[in-house]
Amino acid sequence: MPLSALRGWALAVLAALTPAERSRPYAVLQKQNLVLLGSILSALLLTIVLVAVCVYKPVRRR
């Protein structure tokens, strides 16, 4: 019985939400996608710089 009451409460909360509030999680996901893209691009840039340093100034062997 408590499970059906909880389900009814959840449905009432969802019905009370406006469409803008329902779409808010998607905006959060879009920001996460931007963070992921920034992380990938920064890792790529770091790799390019590291390769450039190794090519133009190789580690000297003794």
Question: Is 49 a domain residue?
Answer: yes
Question: Is 6 a domain residue?
Answer: no
- Each of the 62 residues of the chain gets a pLDDT tens digit; together they read 566 776 776 767 666 665 655 556 666 666 777 888 899 999 999 999 999 998 888 767 66
The residue range of the domain holding 61 is 23-62
pTM: 0.47
Structure tokens at 11: 């449905």
Question: Is 1 a domain residue?
Answer: no
Question: Is 57 a domain residue?
Answer: yes
Q: How many domains would you assign to the chain?
A: 1
Which residues fall within 8 angstroms of residue 14, CB to CB, at 6 or more apart?
A: 22
40 vs 43: CA distance, rounded Å: 5
Per-residue pLDDT at 21: 55
